[in-house]
Amino acid sequence: MIEADEAGRTFTVRRRVVHAVRDLSFRVAAGEFVACLGPNGAGKSTTIKMLTGILTPTSGRIRVAGLDPSRRRTALARRIGVVFGQRTTLWWDLPLRDSLELIRLLYKVDRKVFRERLDEMCDLLDLGGFLATPVRQLSLGQRMRGDITAALLHDPAVLVLDEPTIGLDVVSKAEVRDFLRRRCAEHGTTVLLTTHDLSDVERLCRRVLLIDHGRLAFDGTLDGLRATAPGATSIEEVVTDLYLRSRTTPRTPPPAPRPTPDGPSATA
Amino acid sequence: MIGGHGAAVSLYPRLAWYGFRRHATYWAAALAGAFTNTVFGVLRAYVLIALWQARPGLGGYDVAGAVTFTFLTQAFIGPMQLFGGGLDLPQRIRTGDVALDLVRPASLQLRCLSEDLGRAAYLFVARGGPPTLVGALLFGVVAPHSPAAFLLSVALGVVVSFGWRYIVALATCWVMDDRGLGVLSMVLTTFFSGLMLPLAIFPGWFGDLARALPWSAMAQVPADVYLGTADPARALGFQALWAAVLLALGALMTGAARRKVVIQGG
């Protein structure tokens, strides 16, 4: 469902070439739930942007749902769903219901099908109580449930989740995880999850991709990842160990294509 | 992207309706804007009355025409966004939220245009009504020469204004900050739209140039269509041409931005 063959992306910053991602090769089969880990600035966001067609790779080849993301962006947009935990796709001043209706029109979802899917989500995510509330008045947990609903209304084949549980309390986090695991398993959705919350990974994913210095540093099961640090007692320790080890090797700076007025931009 | 069946056809009207409702939510802001526009309209009217009493017939207007011109252009400030802004795009580019707009299966420019038309429709009533009404009560304004042509001219003016503001907003992708561009755009728009002084009074090549630039389509031209001092067919053609040029330029820039630009953050 997702294929990357030696995909790379360089940025030119003040006439210096920076490799944000290089020689990235992996495959994700339909229905897999895969985590994408890596320290800040490792190239995760660049990878996601290439997979969703926002950025064009400068080398190599990428296919998502059989399409070249940067060339068939519009066609691909209909087949993927995107949740960015730190951003919202919903219309700030509209009631949640109206935002979802706009998404329905945007993705040309049939009214009857939309009704059924929304009912299903309302049941599973308990949206009923705040469908009529303007998005700006929702709590973070409610807004995230709204955003996840918005990403799934067109029943995408591939779902990209970028820190979907960031800032959520433990109960909301568990509910969101539970929903994602059940819904994606039932619909056979392929999911790529990036997160810094390792409990997300433990609950949801069997397979882990670890990106560091713009390269694929590990591709295997969670157990395989644990095996790389035999002495560690928790997955946090394993990952901390890996991140620290990678710091001692010479490091390419993270992509900072231009300075921003608010200081260096964070990569999510 | 533009074409589509069923659902997509109703997407854009729905977005326009959302733009309308969204601005209707902030009615207190519209009221404050209308009040300011009215007060400044009264001040400008006195200045222009003095000018036209000293130079009757200047630029082809009589005193009543000049007063009407004043309140009409004050009424355009809101719907035409003559001081700039009105779009979320610069903010979304700065924060990186625009990344989400780029993974949607519909044209970014058309989506922005639809919302902007809804915004303009609301502000045409909420911020255009009060100055015109107060102007009529205090000084008397002349009736529109052809109401239908006038409304069409206002609509085209809004499209030209959107075309220009969309380009300014997208330029944020290439410069570090949109504030400098915003100020530049405001100076160009307030002067060359005819808001500061009617463009009709400028003689020679400078007048010809000012009247040929796109900004005149945002205030000078619709005011002339209202007053009957411009040939409606030519005026509407002029506006339509600039609307098409600016929209095409905006579409080209959207494509270039997609290829070149790195979205900040996240």
**For residue A227, is it within any domain?**
yes
| Per-residue confidence (pLDDT) for residue A267, from 0 to 100 | 39
Q: Does residue B62 belong to the interface with chain A, where contact is any CB pair within 8 Å?
A: no
Does residue A50 form part of some domain?
yes
Which structure tokens are listed for A117? 């899917």
**Chain A residues in contact with B266 (beta carbon < 8 A):** 45, 84, 86-87, 162, 266-268
* Parallel/antiparallel/unpaired status of strands A80-84 and A158-162: parallel
Q: Could you give the angle at the alpha carbon of B116 between the alpha carbons of B110 and B119, nearest 5°?
A: 150
A19 with A96, same domain: the answer is no
Backbone angles phi, psi at B75, to 5 degrees: -65, -25
Token pair, residue A235, equals 């997955």
Residue among B23, B258, B262 with most chain A CBs within 10 A, to mutate: B262
In a domain, A2, yes or no: yes
Whether A52 and A78 have beta carbons less than 8 Å apart is answered as: no
User: Where do the DSSP E strands lie in B112-194?
Assistant: none
Nearest to A76 by CA among B102, B231, B134: B102
Of A37-46, A176-185, B156-165, B184-193, give the lowest mean pLDDT range: A37-46
Residues A85 and A53 reside in one and the same domain: no
Q: Which of A113, A130, A155 is the last residue of a domain?
A: A155
First to last CA, chain B: 27
Angle between helices A96-106 and A140-152 (to 10 degrees): 20
Beta carbons of B104 and A77 less than 8 Å apart: yes
ipTM > 0.85?
no
Residue B7: which of A73, A105, A265 has the nearest Cβ?
A105
Please identify which residue in the block is written with the tokens 């245009």.
B113
C-alpha A198/C-alpha A236 separation (Å) is 7
Q: Is the same domain home to A140 and A228?
A: no
Q: Which residue of B has its CA nearest to A265?
A: B265
- Interchain contact B98–A (C-beta under 8 A): no
User: CA-CA distance, A238 to A240, in Å (whole number)?
Assistant: 6
Of A91, A108, A89, A234, nearest to A160 (Cα)? A89
- Most B CBs within 10 A among A74, A94, A105, A111, hence the mutation to make, goes to A105
Whether B3 shows a pLDDT value over 80: the answer reads no
Q: Do A84 and B265 touch (CB under 8 A)?
A: no
Say whether both A39 and A101 belong to one domain. Answer: no
Query: Which of A112, A134, A155 represents a domain boundary (last residue)?
Result: A155
d(C-alpha A159, C-alpha B260), whole Å = 26
Q: Is residue A216 domain-resident? A: yes
Q: Is the pLDDT of residue B8 over 80?
A: no
What amino acid occupies position A10?
T
| Helices B179-192/B147-170 angle, 10° precision | 150
For chain B, the residue count is 266
Task: Map residue A42 onto helix, strand or coil.
Answer: coil
- Same domain, yes or no: A229 and A108: no
CB contact under 8 A, A54 and B177: no
Judge whether B53 is closer than 8 Å to chain A, CB to CB. no
Domain ranges of chain B: 7-260
Supply φ then ψ for residue A107, to 5 degrees. -100, 5
Judgement on whether residues A25 and A100 belong to the same structural domain of the protein: no
- The number of distinct structural domains making up chain A is 2
User: Which pLDDT belongs to residue B85?
Assistant: 84
For B94-125, the pLDDT digits (tens) are: 877 888 888 888 889 999 999 999 999 999 99
> Is residue A223 classed exposed, middle or buried when 0-12, 13-18 and 19+ CB atoms within 10 A define those classes?
exposed
| Burial of B207: CB neighbours in 10 Å, binned 0-12, 13-18, 19+ | middle
Cα B94 from Cα B179, distance rounded (Å): 11
Contact A49 B99 (CB under 8 A): yes
Residue B87 CB partners (closer than 8 Å, separation 6+): B112, B116, B162, B165, B166, B169
The residues that bridge with A12 in the sheet, in sequence order, are: A17
**Nearest chain B CA: its distance from A46 CA (Å):** 9
Q: Are residues A20 and A116 in the same domain?
A: no
Q: Which of A66-70, A188-192, B22-26, B159-163 has the highest mean pLDDT?
A: B159-163
Whether residue A80 is predicted with pLDDT greater than 60 in this model: the reply is yes
The residue among A54, A82, A103 with the most chain B CBs within 10 A of its CB, best to mutate, is A54
By Cβ distance, the residue of A102, A109, A255 closest to B262 is A255
DSSP letter (8 states) at residue A253 = P
Contacts of A38 (CB under 8 A, 6+ apart): A44, A194, A210, A211, A212, A217
Average pLDDT over residues A15-43: 86
Looking at the predicted structure, is the pLDDT value of residue B262 above 60? no
Give me the helices (H) in chain A, please: 44-52, 73-77, 96-106, 111-125, 140-152, 170-187, 198-204, 222-227, 235-248
Q: What is the pLDDT of residue B224?
A: 94
Does residue A182 lie in a domain region? no
Token reading at A174 = 């568990």
**Domain shared by A25 and A95, yes or no:** no
Whether pLDDT at A166 is above 60: yes
Interface contact B260, partner A, CB < 8 A: no
pTM of the entire predicted model: 0.85
Nearby residues of A170 by Cβ (< 8 Å), 6 or more positions away? none
Residue A180, domain member (yes or no) = no
Residue-number span of the structural domain to which A109 is assigned: 80-155
CB A161 within 8 A of CB A192: yes
pLDDT given at position B264? 44
What rounded mean pLDDT belongs to chain B? 88
Residues of A in contact with B105 (CB under 8 A): 74-75, 77-78, 106-107
A267–B262: do the CB atoms touch at under 8 Å?
A: no
- A-interface mutation test, from B103, B112, B263, most A Cβ less than 10 A away: B103
Percent of chain B with pLDDT over 70: 94
Is A94 in Cβ contact with B22 (below 8 Å)?
yes
The residue whose two tokens read 């009060």 is B130
**pLDDT at residue A245, rounded to an integer:** 75
Q: What is the CATH number of the domain that holds A227?
A: 3.40.50.300
Which helix (H) or strand (E) segment is A193 a member of?
strand A190-194
Q: Check A53 against B103: CB less than 8 A apart.
A: yes
**Distance in angstroms (rounded) separating the CA atoms of residues A50 and A54:** 6
Interchain CB distance below 8 Å, B97 and A107: no
Other CB atoms closer than 10 Å to residue B212's CB: what's the count? Answer: 12
Q: Does B10 touch chain A (CB under 8 A)?
A: yes
